[in-house]
Amino acid sequence: EIISLEWATENLDGSTSHHLKEVHRWKLSILGAEGMTLLPSGREEGSPFDHLVVSGDESSGKNTIDIFDFDSFDLKSTAVEKKSMLNKRLMSKGLKSNKVGDMSYFEGLLYVLFDNAQVIRAFDIETGTRVQEIPLPVSEIGSESQWEGMHLERIYEENSLFNGGLRGSGSSDTSFLVLHLALDTPAHVWSLRLNEDHETGRWTLPNCAL
């Protein structure tokens, strides 16, 4: 299921409470959904998103990455069907496992976390080409394939107060890139300040995560 939530404010016993409130649910034509990301539309008006991409399992047990029309997630419907699929065989070519733990669309590229294969791959979805492959760090021996979540974030100088809590170090440019990784077992969240090559647009993990 996909669940839509919104922040709600309530006054309880004279104090203000902020919490997430469920708005709507949609059943997906996919089993065991694990990762999802939104793809932008590029339109100046209307919805800023065109598609929702979800990874999971088909009824046959095979792994799949399905594409859903974002506009089909309206409050009048309770179920949505996929529009198409990404070529997972091509995306996972050469890996020991094609299982996808999470995905993130960031600065024009689709990043796919293959948790069992212990890598992140970046793809240009316009051309279908693989741009980069990044090995995942090892948090604890025996938990190498337990990374289940990822999020890329660009932080600008005015938000530099976050610098102190990050693993690794980077350049002193006007912005820097952070990779947030969530480990399933044992429960960890890592925030890694990445090393960027501004000429190629690629990045690497800091030495402390290698």
Pairing of strands 15-28, 79-80: parallel
Q: Per-residue confidence at 33, pLDDT binned at 50, 70, 90?
A: confident
Least confident of 31-40, 132-141, 152-161, 177-186: 152-161
Please report, in angstroms and rounded to a whole number, the separation of the first and last CA atoms in the chain.
Answer: 36
What is the structure's pLDDT at 162?
Answer: 52
Which pLDDT does position 31 carry in this prediction?
Answer: 79
pLDDT for position 170: 47
| pLDDT value at 15 more than 70 | yes
Whether the predicted pLDDT of 10 surpasses 60: yes
Contact 124, 109 (CB under 8 A): yes
- Mean pLDDT, to the nearest integer, of 80-109? 92
pLDDT, position 79: 94
**186 prior amide bond cis, ω within 30:** yes
The percent of residues in the chain predicted with pLDDT above 90, rounded, is: 51
What pLDDT is stored for residue 109 in this prediction? Answer: 94
For range 5-25, the mean pLDDT: 89
Give the pLDDT band (50/70/90) at residue 30. Answer: confident
pTM, two decimal places: 0.83
Residue 78 has pLDDT above 50, yes or no: yes
Q: Which residues contact 23 (CB under 8 A, 6 or more apart)?
A: 4, 5, 6, 75
CA-to-CA distance for 150 and 109, rounded, in angstroms?
14
φ, ψ at 72 (rounded to 5°)? -75, -10
